[in-house]
Amino acid sequence: MKIRGDIVRLYRNVHSWAGITAGLFLFIAFYAGGMTMFELPLGNWASRTSALPAPVPAERLSELVQKAQAADPTVATNHTVVLHPNETSPSSLMWTVSADRDHGPARTVYAGLAADGALVTQTRTPSQVGYFLNILHQRIGLPLNREYGRLIMGIVALLYAVALVSGTIVLLPSLIRNLFALRLTENLRRVWLDFHTLLGFCSLPFHIVMAATAAGFAFHQPIMALEKNLFFPAAPTHLAQKDKPHHGQNPQALLEPMAIVDAFRTQVPGLEPDALAYSSRGGKLSLHVMVHDTAEVARRPDGGYGEVNPYTGRLTSTDFLPGHQTPAFQVLTVIYALHFGTFGGLLIRWGYAVLGFGGAFLFYSGNQLWLSSRRRRERSAGLTEDSFGTRFLSILTTGCMIGCISGVSAVLAATPLLPEGGHYQTVEALFYAVFFSCVMVAVCLGGARSLRPLLAVAGVLTLLIPLTDMMRCLASGAVTSLALSVDGVALVYGVVLVMLALRKGQRQTPAAGVAVTP
C-alpha cells in the first residue's frame, strides 16, 4: 500500500502524541476491562451466601411470594423469583431495599420458607468487587462520577480513535516489510518498536471494535437527548397515567410463577427461564423473564430477556430475547455483544480477556517506545540526563501501570477478608491507596529504577489472593472448584510477576547504564 511519505511522517507524530496522552488511561481501561470478562464468576467467588435462606421447591414458589407480599406490600412491584438458584443468588426470592445504583449490586433481601412454613429473610449486600472493576474500566481509572467520568471517557475515546487511525496509516506502507521482523537485538528501541507493531497489527480488528463501541458508549447520553429533538415522536403513549402508581389495585389476579414459566415455555420452546423480574414501569407492573444461554449472542453477560404480561403470561416483546429478535434488534445486540464478548461462549470470553490484557500491554510498549526514542534523541543532542518530560512520562508509565496491576490484585486479595465480599467504597479506597503509593514510589525512585520493586509488589499482592482465599476456604470448610481456579490463575500470574521483577533486575542494570552514558 502506497501512502505519501509526508503523510506517514505527519501521522507518526500524531500517533505518538495521541498515544502518549491516552495511553495511561487506556492501560487501566483495558486491564480492568479484561477482568470484567469474568465479572460474573468473580462475583460468585466473592459472594458470601452460606447463611442465606435455602431455595424452596417449585410448587411452593407461589406461597413464598404471597407471604413476602403480605409482610411487605412494596415487594409486589419489585422482586425477582430465581428459578435456578446458584452461588450468587441462592434463595428463591429476592428484592432490593436501596435505590443506590451507582455502587453496584444494591442491598438485597433474600427470602425463603422455614420448616414450619414461616417466611424467613436475610438482608445482605452482594459483593461489589466485580462492579468496582467494571466501573474502574468505564471511568478509565479516574474516581469521577457518571457525569464527569463520561466527559473524560469521551475525550479518551476520541484520542483512542485518532491513535488507532494514525497508527494504521503509519503501519500500512511498511506492513509486509516490518511486520514479522522481530529484531531481538541490543537496541531496546527496536525491540519495543517491533513488538508494538506486531501486537498492534494482530489485535487491530479488536481495537477497531473497541474504539468504535467505546466512542458509542461515551456519547450515549447527549446523543439520546439530540435524537429526541431531531426525530419525530412515535405513536402517542399513555403519559397521563405515568404519575399514578396503583399497585395491588389491579382487578386482575397475577399469574403464579410456575404458570408464567409454563406459558413462557410453550410460547418459546428451547429457552429456559432463569428468573422472573417484576418491576414497576410508569406505574404499570412489568415482568421480564430472564434467560441465560452462553452459546447465544447476548446483550449482557447475564443474558437476555423477554417481556411478559404478568396477568396473562403472554409474551409482549421479544426485542431482547436471544434467538427471537427482529434483524434490527439483532444488530443492536451484536453491537453490545462485540464490546462485552458475549457471543460464542467461554472461548470468546477468554479470547477477549487475552486481547484486553494484550491491549494493555500494547499501551505499555507504546509508552516504552516513546521513552526510548526520546532518550536516544536526548543523548545524541548531548544531554546526559533525562529531560523533565521524559522523566515525567517514565514515572507515570511505571507508577500508574504497575500501580493499576497492584491495586487490582490488592482488591482481590482483600476480598475474602472483607465483610459481605467487599463494599464499593472500601475496595475503591483500597485500590487508590495502593495505586497512589505505587505512583509515589515511582516519583521517589524514578521510572526505570522503580520498575523492579513495583513489579515485585504487584507479584506479592497477586500471590496474596490464593493465600487469603485459602484461609477463608479452610475457615468455612468449603473448597469450591471456582475458588481453586481463581487461586490457581492468581498463583501463576503472581509467580510470573515476581519472576519478571527478578529478571528485569538483571537486564535493567546494563540498559540503565547505557541510558546514562551519552
Partner 1 sequence: MSDVAPGKSLDGTGWIGKVLAGLILGAVLAIGLMGILGLLFHADAQLKTATSQILRWFPGPVWGLIVAFSFLFHTSRQAWLALAVINGVVWALFFLLHGIMA
Beta strand 284-291 pairing with 273-281: antiparallel
Distance CA 75, CA 95 (A): 7
Collapsing DSSP to helix, strand or coil, 291 comes out as: strand
Q: Closer CB to partner 1, residue 215 or residue 277?
A: 215
Q: How far is the CB of 360 from partner 1 (least distance, A)?
A: 21
Residue selected from 194, 296, 319, 487 as contacting partner 1 according to rule CB under 8 A = 319
218 lies in the binding site for partner 1 (CB under 8 A)? yes
Q: Does 172 bind partner 1 (CB under 8 A)?
A: no
Q: Within 17-46, which residues bind partner 1 (CB under 8 A)?
A: 17
Q: Which of 69, 122, 178, 213 binds partner 1 (CB under 8 A)?
A: 213
Q: What is the dihedral of CA 214, 220, 226, 227, to 10 degrees?
A: 100
Q: Which amino acid is at 465?
A: I
Among 24, 46, 140, 211, binds partner 1 (CB under 8 A): 211
Least distance from C-beta 160 to partner 1, angstroms? 8
Contacts with 467 (C-beta within 8 Å, 6 or more apart), sequence order: 413
Alpha-carbon Rg for the chain, nearest whole angstrom, is: 26
- Closer to partner 1 by Cβ: residue 158 or 354: 158
Q: Which of 106, 151, 158, 199 binds partner 1 (CB under 8 A)?
A: 158
Minimum distance from residue 216 beta carbon to partner 1 (Å)? 4
What is the closest distance, in whole angstroms, from the C-beta atom of residue 163 to partner 1 in the complex? 9
Collapsing DSSP states into helix, strand and coil, what is residue 444?
helix
Query: Would you tell me how many other CB atoms lie within 10 Å of the CB of residue 299?
Result: 21
Give Cβ neighbours of residue 238 (< 8 Å, ≥ 6 apart): 282
- Please give the C-alpha separations between residue 410 and each of 238, 403, 460, 502, in angstroms, as whole numbers: 51, 10, 9, 20
Half-sphere CA count of 312, side-chain side, radius 13 A? 6
Minimum CB distance to partner 1, residue 223 (Å): 5
C-alpha cell at 15: 500517533
Contact predicate 462/409, CB 8 Å = yes
Q: Is 297 in the site for partner 1 (CB under 8 A)?
A: no
- The nearer residue to partner 1, 11 or 435, going by C-beta atoms, is 11
- Coil, strand, or helix at residue 196? helix
Determine if 354 is a binding residue for partner 1 (CB under 8 A). Answer: no
Give whichever of 225 and 417 is closer to partner 1, judged by the CB atom: 225
Count of positions on this chain that bind partner 1 (CB under 8 A): 46
Per-residue x/- mask for partner 1, residues 116 to 155, rule CB under 8 A?
Answer: ----------------------------------------
Stretch that binds partner 1, among 158-166, 378-386, 460-468, 472-480 (CB under 8 A): 158-166
Q: Which of 1, 99, 115, 230 touches partner 1 by CB under 8 A? A: 230
Q: End-to-end CA distance of the chain, in Å?
A: 38
Question: Which residue type sits at 195?
Answer: F
Nearer to partner 1, 274 or 378 (CB): 378
Choose between 106 and 208: whose C-beta lies nearer to partner 1. Answer: 208
Shortest Cβ 229–partner 1 spacing (Å): 8
Residue 229 is a binding residue for partner 1 (CB under 8 A):
yes
Compute the least distance from the CB of residue 186 to partner 1, in Å: 27
Q: Return the H-helix or E-strand segment holding 278.
A: strand 273-281
Q: 3-state SS of 116-172?
A: CCCEEEEEECCCCHHHHHHHHHHCCCCCCCHHHHHHHHHHHHHHHHHHHHHHHHHHH
144 or 165: whose CB is closer to partner 1? 165
Q: Is 316 in the site for partner 1 (CB under 8 A)?
A: no
Query: Distance from CA of residue 416 to its chain's centroid?
Result: 20
For partner 1, the binding residue among 172, 226, 259, 444 (CB under 8 A) is 226
Nearer to partner 1, 3 or 495 (CB): 3
Secondary element (H or E) of residue 260: helix 257-267
Q: Does 332 bind partner 1 (CB under 8 A)?
A: yes
Query: Which amino acid is located at 235 in the chain?
Result: A
Distance CA 105, CA 48 (A): 14
For the chain, the maximum distance between any two Cα atoms, rounded to a whole number of angstroms, is 87
Decide: is 388 part of the binding site for partner 1 (CB under 8 A): no
CB 275 within 8 A of CB 80: yes
Answer yes or no whether residue 240 interacts with partner 1 by CB under 8 A: no
Closest CA to 409 of 441, 364, 445, 454: 454
Q: Based on the shown chain and the rule CB under 8 A, indicate whether residue 258 belongs to the binding site for partner 1.
A: no
**Residues 175, 202, 331, 444: which binds partner 1 (CB under 8 A)?**
331
- Binding residues (CB under 8 A) for partner 1: these are 4, 6-7, 9-11, 13-14, 17, 157-158, 160-162, 164-166, 211-220, 223-224, 226-234, 237, 319, 326, 328-329, 331-332, 335
